[in-house]
Amino acid sequence: MLTIGEPVPDFALLNQDGNTVRLSDYRGKKLVVFAYPKASTPGCTTQACGFRDNFPKIDAGNAAVLGISPDEPKDQLKWKKAENLPYDLVCDTDHAVLESWGAWGEKKNYGKTYVGVIRSHWVIDENGVLIDQKLDISPNDSVAKAVAALNVG
């Protein structure tokens, strides 16, 4: 679990193109990292497209967006192209980052209990320090609250 006001540990994960992306690659910019259960599903598409639609404002405010899920690169790439997402999607296939960030756990859906990604987002400042964290949040609230936490106008 991450703590607001503390540095976020670096990670290295493959993106949709099979290239390594590190959290530290974003130093010097604010960053929203959003966790979603599965590419190309309705709630995840709502969340991802909300960040896409706000991306011009985010980008103009010296900030960036990064999506994270346990999907494979090929699935991330297909979804990124289909929805015209202007940011990277990284693949935490063993869900190690999601677990350490508190976004992997027990969920309930249609009366069934299972373990998976808990929809969440984190906002990290230019120095790699966590400034906002929302775990178990709806797709629309995630976008609105993360953009507000960026304070990018």
pLDDT tens sequence for the chain (153 residues): 899 999 999 999 999 999 999 999 999 999 999 999 999 998 899 999 999 999 999 999 999 999 999 999 999 999 999 999 999 999 999 999 999 999 999 887 788 888 999 999 999 999 999 999 999 999 999 999 999 999 876
Quote the CA–CA distance of 145 and 91 in Å, as a whole number. Answer: 24
The H or E element spanning position 53 is helix 42-60
Quote the CA–CA distance of 122 and 86 in Å, as a whole number. Answer: 18
| Third-level CATH fold of 12-150 | Glutaredoxin (3.40.30)
Looking at 8, 13, 31, 44, which residue is catalytic?
44
Q: Amino acid identity, residue 96?
A: A
Residue 91 annotated as catalytic: no
Quote the CA–CA distance of 99 and 19 in Å, as a whole number. Answer: 22
